[in-house]
Structure 1
Amino acid sequence: MYTKKLSLWVAGVVFLGLSQMTYANCNAKIGAIKHLFDDFENYHAQQANDAKKRLHISVRDTQDCQLYMVLTSKNQNRLKGQFQEIPYYVRSDIQQTISSSVTRLNLVNSSVDIELFIPAGTPVKAGSYSDRLELKLYDSNSTLLDEREFEIKENILPRTSLSVVGYSSSSNVINLGELVSGREYTMLPTFKVVTNADVQLSVNSENRGRLIHSLYKNKYAIDYSLHIDGDRVNLLGESKRKFSYKGQTVFLLKLGMQLGEFQRKAAGEYSDTIRFHVAPLNY
């Protein structure tokens, strides 16, 4: 009777010792973190697809280990910059989201690929942004084996475009028809400015705000005024107007024009060339 009890107790001790030895032999460590793909810097709110940043994370010395990793974000999954914070999301082929800034990552063949993405349509101002991510490697008993921090730094480039919409948008020539003294013209094109930065619109009149006769030139000229969104533009020199980006990515600028008072002008064609240029500021 006593011998049998003693044998069972010894077997239990041996089994417990083997379990502890197997657990102690797991020396896995986080290996390389490689950037596979990154198009954050070219992101703009008008694009159709999400902006993506893809990372490959490897783990070494994984023999006899059952592992998983936990990914956390210092900024709660937001890229912080001087002007704003950009929310982003984390996804991988095998993952479990624990909270908005904590993600559990399961390994496949001692590695995992993760993807950070900014959803298409998110308003983003050009500038520098960053976040700090922390990876923690655990075994099946939730014992911490290794940890690593790495920075996410992105410089989103300014993007600005100028196009013409509405009336006569298919041509860069505006035909006013018969010129009438003092007449106001409202059936003019609208400029569409798409931007992710503060911008400056420059306007320059070749004839300094005058319609010049095609044959007689300056001998016969008609003064006119130009308005953008109701504000008169000074055409005696280069006129500059600034627009501040505040989450608005599209500006629609309506043009208006009014002729000055005139009489006894030669019949014929009168014209001027107005140049519009838009560029981002402070980049």
Structure 2
Amino acid sequence: MGSIASPPCPISPSSYPSLTREQAGHLRHFHNLAAQLDGSWHHMGSQEPLQEFLDAYRYQLATMAYAVGVSHYHRQPLLRSVYKPLMRRLIHKMLCRDVWAYWFNTSLGGVRTDPSRTSLRTPWADPIVRENIMYSGHLLLMVSLYAMLFDDDEFEKEGSIVFNWDPLFFGLGPEKFTYDTASLEKAILKEMERNGYVGVCCEPNMVFVVCNQFPMIAMRYNDIRHSTNTIPTLLPKYQDAWKAKGGMVRSNGLFPDAWLEVQDHVLSASDPGWTAWASAFMNTRNSSLIRELYPKQAEGYLTTINGET
């Protein structure tokens, strides 16, 4: 009995661009880092031992998650078996106490971020409830991106995002802070409102433009998933708040670095670093502005190192 020939496959995999060796290598590296046992952070060391600077675990994990999302959506959308577990593992690492415990000390405040301060605040461990958008904003985008890419409501379920605080030698016993995507977003919106919609503080007293872009992207995802209207309501208030502070684009063509809450003072940028970071993500909602500004922002800035330009 003769065999029946299979119809030709309408899709030719070779006609689609594949990952380069370097791109695949980055993803392999992400897998290696995310697969480490909890408490192991090999090849993820940072300049500051208390996770205070720009290479802290939270930024590394979030940036890896965004790269994973872009790779999956734009390059290999059918390959869920690789990307979903990797994204899930990065979120798991983001919830480890090693990543967010810095906030207890940071919440004390200090003169470096608030020159008027003469005493420290009473600290708190919950990394979500107030300020700290430099963590909560990234976490919201990570779990919202996970839901959007994989149509998975794991982190939308009540009590699905848990922070366990139980230091060995101080405190009055273990504490547990429980959230989900909706309550995490609600906490951020409450802080936005408290600051007159200029944004949520990262460190105490400092609202950075760049750090407030991530949660707004996440809110847009959640609007789409749940047919809500958060971002169309929030954005005009955010834009008006910055207009009242002199505008988002300053006289030097750059975005402000930050706004000091207590002093009601805008810190202007002296180089394009923060602006470039903010623009990369603000482009998702205001591409026309970002593309118009890019030629002016990308050229004409000199760097001075050790007194030499």
Interval containing the TM-score (normalised by the shorter chain): under 0.3
TM-score, normalised by the number of residues in structure 2: 0.17
Q: More helix by proportion, 1 or 2?
A: 2
* TM-score, normalised by the number of residues in structure 1: 0.18
